[in-house]
Amino acid sequence: MSLLQVKNLIVEFPHRRGTLRALDDISFDIAPGEILGVVGESGAGKSITGAAIIGLLDPPGRIASGQILLEGERIDQLGFEQMRHIRGKRIGAIFQDPLTSLNPLYTVGRQLVETIRTHLPLSEKEARERAIGLLKDTGIPAPEQRVDHYPHQFSGGMRQRVVIALALAAEPKLIVADEPTTALDVSIQAQIITLLKAVCKRHGAAVMLITHDMGVIAETCDRVAVLYCGRIAEIGPVHEVINHPAHPYTAGLMAAIPDITQDRERLNQIDGAMPRLNAIPTGCAYNPRCPQTFAKCKSARPELLNAGVTRAACWLHETLRDRPERSEALSPTDRALRDGPI
């Protein structure tokens, strides 16, 4: 059974000139212990997906339709207080800038203890001992002393470790990590990613990792969903999506990554820019930038189609559904990955 299921999710922002659709009918799931990467350009809908799941959409944003299920229980229709009890206890959150996640007026220990006691039946002493243990687990040196320090007394990397400790405080089943390494030095990013993988494996938590960095995706995730204009362009096992991209947009993202083995004067780039929400073209939203566009791309919007062991929203793969010999060539594992729920 999937830990998290997102079904046909639509998120809209009412506007005086109309309604802007930020997420347009996206569906995916995350299995227990799995790390799903969500990648795409700025404005693709990555952070809004995470905010919708944890119930923190900024007004006037709203879930217009669709369902979000956590362990089979629908959570998208819960009230603020009900979601408040789910956040922290069953869903942890790690945000891009740790300074915005920590209260500068309270010690990190006080913030950890408050979070722990909100969700777990522990005494003050037991919660403090658990807070010290979490700081130790996340690599904070001398946690017995550092637990009484304030956020400004920690470096950026150490603050992010504290935020990870906060996210794990009540042993949630799912962690939504929104650009957890973006605000950090490159030398610290790898440490945080390694830590996140190790701690989540130790605690058995699943992770939804939102990022724009394909390198982080390659190092961290089991599967990846590529977003474009509020829709999933491609989803599948990370090694397949990276090494054999089935959607022209994914191929463009991968081609844009510099290759140190090649001597090139110019980097590859995707021409144009992602359209604004009020100017999304008819048909496939990527068609004005796509080098493989044909007539159908400009008139009809593709759903996710089977493309080997991945699925891609591209008309290039329309006929793959009618090729039984392709299914027979797949291993049982790869066939399950292709045909199972996304």
Residue with tokens 């809209």: 12
Every domain of the chain with CATH number 3.40.50.300 lies at 4-221
| pLDDT of res. 6 | 96
| pLDDT of res. 342 | 40
What is the average pLDDT across 10-38? 92
- Quickly count: other Cβ atoms within 10 Å of residue 297's Cβ: 23
How confident is the model over 97-135, as pLDDT tens digits? 777 889 999 999 999 999 999 999 999 999 999 999 999
Q: Is the pLDDT of residue 248 over 60?
A: yes
Least confident of 7-21, 52-66, 139-153, 327-341: 327-341
Q: Is the pLDDT of residue 325 over 80?
A: no
pLDDT band at 335 (very low <50, low <70, confident <90, very high): very low
Q: Is the pLDDT of residue 190 over 90?
A: no
Residue 142 CB-density burial (10 A; 0-12 exposed, 13-18 middle, 19+ buried): exposed
Q: Is the pLDDT of residue 94 over 80?
A: yes
pTM higher than 0.75, yes or no? yes
Q: Where would I find the H helices in 138-232?
A: 143-146, 156-167, 186-203, 214-220
Residue with tokens 């979490």: 134
The whole-angstrom separation of Cα 35 and Cα 46 is 15
What is the average pLDDT across 13-38? 92
Residue 46 tokens read as 């990555």
- Where b means 16+ CB within 10 Å and e means fewer, 84-103 reads eebbbbbbbbbbbbbbebbe
The whole-angstrom separation of Cα 260 and Cα 266 is 13
Cis peptide bond prior to 60, omega within 30° of 0 = yes
Homologous superfamily of domain range 4-221:
P-loop containing nucleotide triphosphate hydrolases (3.40.50.300)
pLDDT band at 7 (very low <50, low <70, confident <90, very high): very high
Whole-Å CA distances, 22 to 42, 51, 103, 311? 12, 12, 30, 21
Mean pLDDT, the chain, rounded, equals 87
The whole-angstrom separation of Cα 208 and Cα 198 is 15
pLDDT band at 319 (very low <50, low <70, confident <90, very high): low
